[in-house]
Structure 1
Amino acid sequence: MLKKTRIHLADDHQILIDGIRTLLHTIPTFEVVGFSLNGNDIYDAVRCNKADILVLDINMPEKDGIEVLKEFARKGFPCKIIILSSYDDLRIIKEVMKLGCSSYLTKKCAGENIVEAIHAVANGEEYFSKSVREKIFNTVTKDNPKLNKRALVSNSLLTERELEIIILISLEYSGKEISDELFISINTVETHRKNIMKKLSAKNSISLVKYALKHKLIKS
């Protein structure tokens, strides 16, 4: 029997919920098991319908998305969380990621990214829409004279996130600093680091720096 990813939708606009539900209904491995129009009932609803993933808006009535996330952090996460918001403010993105979200999408690109994001999060990965990813990365790397941004687009062996990690390692960021800058846990940083080293057959961080220099990700 096909195992389905159970999804709960939370937004204050019924029309948006209906649109996403219609889209997700076309994916055989997805099942929308419930929805919420305000923040008060989300935690109990998610636990009751045993959702695997919650798609959550920040701007919710009665209890906003930030407060919902704090409630989840306090009581324990019964599911993984994807933020789907009209906001792309870096301060908000940073706050919600530190509260335990797995993904952040802006509503203007929801139609093209939501399915991909759910697949990624269901597989234990994180996912950001392109505009959010660029905003995060640009704040980390802006005005750094060692960074060669032009070389990033030509490197296909590593994912975008892995490129960010290897660059920051090469720029002598610590695991804690990478965690803070990319809004991910130290454990996630270490997982990415191990995956990078496996892909590149690297033995240590020096090997990663050599790779970054060889492929002109950073300037010597």
Structure 2
Amino acid sequence: MTDKIRIHLADDHKVLIDGMITLLHTVPSFEVVGFSLNGSSLFEEVTTNGANILILDISMPEKDGIEVVKEFAKKGFPCKVIILSSYDDLKIIKELMKLGTSGYLTKKCAGENIIEAIHTVTNGEEYFCKSVREKIFNTVTIDNPKFNKTGATIIAILTERELEIITLIALEFSGKEISEKLYITTNTVETHRKNIMKKLKAKNTISLVKFAIKNKLISS
């Protein structure tokens, strides 16, 4: 039997907690192992109950979500963290991604995306809801005019994040530069690069560049 994904919820609104529990219980592979209405002792709670995923609000009493993530980053993440917040301020998103959170969703899109987010993060990838992805993508476009959003010609086997990374690789950005631009870790960049190479059956970086040119991700 496959181990269940153990989830801890942290939000100061009990109604939202109850709704999330009801939703998550519809997935057999999920188990809600605890919830918190403030951030004061979240590190100890998720360490004790063995949560794999913490779904965390930013606006929390006693210790807010950003303070919680800072504590996790300092002590070592006991589980992966998905932010679920009313805020979609890019500055806040950047800070939390740099600290090491694995996902960010706004509460407007949570209902239809939270299950996908949990599965994605459990598999070692980051997850951003559409509005957050667009904010991040737009900053890349502004920073680098050569960065071209893809059209219908791109094959569907690549995720949006993989398309962003393959484009930046083709534009000769280093792993460190890509991590800074997309607010993810260098290890995550390398994981995505390996996944891209495997999906495209590419032997080297030159193959990735050719793919990017062929599909008009960059100019030849």
Q: What TM-score bracket applies, with the shorter chain setting the length?
A: over 0.9
Kindly state the Cα deviation for residue 151 of structure 1 after the two structures are TM-superposed: 2.3
* Structure 2 Cα separation of the partners of residues 170 and 180 of structure 1: 16
- Call closer, same or farther: CA 1:190–1:2 in 2, change over 3 Å: closer
* Structure 1 Cα separation of the partners of residues 136 and 120 of structure 2: 19
* Structure 1 Cα separation of the partners of residues 93 and 137 of structure 2: 13
Per-residue CA deviation, residues 111-166 of structure 1 (Å, 9 max, x unaligned), is 00111111111222211111111111111023744343252674313111110001
Mapped pair 1:87 → 2:87: yes
Give the counterpart letter for 1:111 in structure 2: G
* Structure 1 Cα separation of the partners of residues 74 and 140 of structure 2: 30
Q: Give 1:42's aligned residue.
A: 42
Q: Give 1:71's aligned residue.
A: 71
Q: Give 2:214's aligned residue.
A: 214
Q: TM-score, normalised by structure 1?
A: 0.94
Shifted more, 10-19 versus 68-77: the winner is: 68-77
Unaligned runs of 5+ in 1: none
Mapped pair 1:21 → 2:21: yes
Q: TM-score, normalised by structure 2?
A: 0.94
Q: Secondary structure at the match of 2:31?
A: strand
Per-residue CA deviation, residues 73-93 of structure 1 (Å, 9 max, x unaligned), is 122211111100111111111
RMSD: 1.6
Q: Secondary structure at the match of 2:46?
A: helix
CA contact (8 A) 2:136 2:182 kept: yes
CA contact (8 A) 2:154 2:215 kept: no
The aligned length equals 220
CA contact (8 A) 2:125 2:188 kept: no
* Structure 1 Cα separation of the partners of residues 78 and 143 of structure 2: 41
Structure 1: which 4+ aligned runs deviate by more than 6 Å? none
Unaligned runs of 5+ in 2: none
Q: Secondary structure at the match of 2:176?
A: helix
* Structure 1 Cα separation of the partners of residues 149 and 82 of structure 2: 28
* Structure 2 Cα separation of the partners of residues 36 and 148 of structure 1: 42
Mapped pair 1:199 → 2:199: yes
CA contact (8 A) 1:152 1:217 kept: no
CA contact (8 A) 2:140 2:147 kept: no
Shifted more, 105-114 versus 198-207: the winner is: 198-207
- Call closer, same or farther: CA 1:123–1:150 in 2, change over 3 Å: closer
Q: Give 1:141's aligned residue.
A: 141
CA contact (8 A) 1:80 1:121 kept: yes
CA contact (8 A) 2:81 2:103 kept: yes
Give 1:99-118 correspondences, 5 Å limit: 99-118=99-118
Q: Give 2:33's aligned residue.
A: 33
Give the counterpart letter for 1:32 in structure 2: V
Mapped pair 1:132 → 2:114: no
Q: Give 2:164's aligned residue.
A: 164
Percent identity of the aligned residues? 75
Per-residue CA deviation, residues 100-119 of structure 1 (Å, 9 max, x unaligned), is 11111111001001111111
